[in-house]
Structure 1
């Protein structure tokens, strides 16, 4: 018996050329390479240059994903972009990308769930494809987090970087257990003060700066992410031993290790790019996934577990068979 399943047809990613090392940051704030590595696992991050925006990073990642899938913009009828750093208040970054790649049909819109954004966007696109409203989708996670950082705040400026990752999804006839198997989304607005920005168009007429209570976020991340993944795996009859690759949100190496240990996932199955990319928010999951696909670790048929936690607080997980 066949069903409509959402297949990952291609993936792509893009990073700005400018690399900012820990040693460079140490010249600006009271920190050091050793301090940052010990607490976060981060060695460097990529920073968008003048003229580079979330839309331009997204476009580059999208074109690479289309090339990987052997498709063009004419084959796509949906774009969902996960970002918390859009080029403009409106129109959406997704519509900017639609114009940039020459897609003249379908629909395009943004999803805002901060670091959890790609998992949220994946869930939305999967639903629209499965119900037949759309046929093929570009799902993109992209951020220029450097634009909302206080570069004098060592607690946050060392953590984040810029980048974009994209998937091409398509609805196909297939057997259950293929493609996107399921997503699990949660949020708790009572925890807003743990991770937020100090402004917004309606309240301060500016974006403000990112602020975070790091220790509290760490504790919620380990507990909530673990619960989201355990629940999702149980819903589909899997355990940690069944997972071929764990592709987490690249927030902090210690969080990655703590969550993997809690779920019984072997360290060798964890895809970690945090050392080279830092936390790229909604871009981090598709970025890490694409790195592992391109270097040959993730192969067709592999079962992959994704997760993320971001401001809101929002969190979620996804199971996909690549």
Structure 2
């Protein structure tokens, strides 16, 4: 009965597999609408923590419903006071603005740095983009903007369009592809249809992009209604669920999402690795083996589902 209700509400259930090395030590389920960003730190088994390169938030994605694998390490210091995220809270001030940049209210929220916190709009207003009712807590950008509009009916002069309806994007075209945010910048700006920055994202947020457009000589991916990210702050990938085996005579180097060698560590010949996505750079194919590292397809001898 529960599964039938979830289908009617278009809810997706994802399985989180927490592993040490290649051994899964615990699993849990998260459920939500596609595109919902979920903080998974509360799901981490007691006595463990995510590795430094592992993302702490996942986007509900129908292509990953069969399961995602999350790398952990055992806690060396089991004292809860030094490991729990709530003991390292950062305060951010949220400025609620109209489409003319007039501030109508402000509030203060707190959370762990780079975590997602849900925000309620001020009384009498609703968010300009209903999907984005949250902020990503930042220790460097403590003042954040959120755009809202009146919750009541308004009279619109026929000779003028609301500012937010003025599209700055040109040459819009349909596109279907999977992208992840990744940039050397501390924060990745998300702009609305008017070209204004409405909030910021960090690395490793996944999106199914269905539309692209040009603006100011650059290409942008639409991640939600009136929400766009510069394609230079993202990389495209293909979701897969398989295992790859390293060639017997090769110590495989690890690369970043641009194909650059990033680590001294090498993968041992003949070892098998789980991969959840691949990407193409020129004529080369790369397979992801951790959240931020990839192995060159020329070093892979076999793959199996």
TM-score by length of 2: 0.25
Structure with the higher helix share, 1 or 2 = 1
Higher relative contact order (Cα pairs below 8 Å, separated by 6+ residues): 1
Structure with the higher strand share, 1 or 2 = 2
Larger-Rg structure: 2
TM-score by length of 1: 0.25
